[in-house]
Amino acid sequence: MKKSIVLAVIICIMAIVFAGCGGQSTNTGSSDGKNNEPTLSFTVNGTKVELGVDATDILKSLGEPKSVTEEASCAFEGLDKTYFYGNFYLTTYPNGDKENIYSCWFVDDSLSTDENIYIGATKAEVESAYGAESFNGNNAYVIKKGASMLTIIIEDDCVSAITYDAIID
């Protein structure tokens, strides 16, 4: 009899060892929201352009752009900016007082990705650089890293466009 009681108690405790909480909700607020995961980037004239990060230093390093326009949607004035550097565009979105890199896209074949893909490269070259699994089944290769995305659009078996996007909420 006593053995059984002890056994039962031990089993209870063992089970409690595996029991979880369900009670006190610890609604302790959100994390600081900083995404410290590495994101995609490419290099132009020695400047590393990363997606989703503070644009201040990058813009300074890239020097004077050929043009700057302010993009907006319905009635929303002057927030997203587009910088043109001759061979690529770079857009930013506001982040408090600063701006963050939102997206970039190449204009000609003078720039290439870190994996040496450029506008005009063949589909085969893209596949060997990024793998067949990144193909979206339609006409583009999509590579994700952290909170960023690289889209390589294929037309007539050649790369027709290369765009980088930050994924923000």
Partner 1 sequence: MKKKNVMGICTAVCICLLILWLLQALLMPKYMSESQEGALIAEYYDEAGGNDVIFIGDCEVYENFSPITLYEEYGITSYIRGSAQQLIWQSYYLMEETFKYETPKVMVFNVLSMKYDTPESTGNLKHREAYNRMNLDGMRWSMSKWNSISASLTEEEKEWGGNWSYIFPILRYHDRWSQLSSEDFKYIFKRDEVSDNGYLMQVNVKPVTSEHVEKPIADYQFSENCWEYLDAMKELCEKHSTKLVLIKAPSLSPVWWDQWDAQIEEYAKKNGLLYINFLDYQQEIGIDWNTDTYDTGLHLNVYGAEKLSSYFGKILKDEYDLEDHRNNEDMSSQWTKKVNSYNERKKLLEDIRDNKN
Partner 2 sequence: MQFTSISFLAFAGLLLLIYYIVPKKLQWVILLIASYIFYLSAGLEYLFFIVFTTITTYIASRIIDSRLAKQKLYLAEHKEELSREEKKEYKDKIKKKNQIALVVYLVLNFGVLAVCKGLLIVPFNQMATNTVLGFLSLGLPLGISFYMFQSVGYVVDIHRGVVRAEKNFFKVTLFVSFFPQLVQGPISKFSQLAPQLFSEHSFDGKKLSYGLQRILWGFFKKLVIADRIAAAVGALKAPEYEGMGFLLLATFYAVQIYADFTGGIDVAIGLGEAFGIQMTENFVRPFFSKNIAEYWRRWHISLGEWMKDYIFYPLSVSQPMRKLSKFTYKNMGNLGKRIPVYIASIITWFATGIWHGFSPNFIVWGMLNCFFIVLSEELMPLYAKFHARFGLKDKKIYGLFEMARMFTLMNLIRISDLFPNVSLYFSKLLSLVTNPDISVLWDGRLLNLGLTGLDYGIIGFGILVMLTVSIIGEKKGSVRDLLSQKPAVLRYALIIALLIITLLVGSYGIGYNASNFIYNQF
Strand order of the β-sheet with 88-95 is: 67-71, 80-84, 88-95, 98-106, 158-166, 148-155, 140-145
Which of partner 2, partner 1, none sits in contact with 151, Cβ below 5 to 8 A by type? partner 1
From the list 28-36, 44-52, 57-65, 115-123, the region that binds partner 2 by CB under 8 A is: 28-36
Cross-strand bridge partners of residue 149: 144, 165
Is 153 an interacting residue with respect to partner 1 (CB under 8 A)? yes
Q: Which tokens is 162 given?
A: 């290369």
Pattern 92-131, partner 1, x by CB under 8 A: -----------xxx--------------------------
Which position among 31, 36, 73, 116 is part of the footprint of partner 1 (CB under 8 A)?
73
Give the whole-angstrom CA distance, residue 58 versus residue 62.
Answer: 6
Is the sign of the CA dihedral 132, 138, 143, 147 positive or negative? negative
103 in Cβ contact with 165 (< 8 Å)? yes
Q: Which is nearer to partner 1, 55 or 140 (CB)?
A: 140
Q: In the bound complex, what is the minimum distance in angstroms from residue 92's beta carbon to partner 2?
A: 18
Is 76 an interacting residue with respect to partner 2 (CB under 8 A)? yes
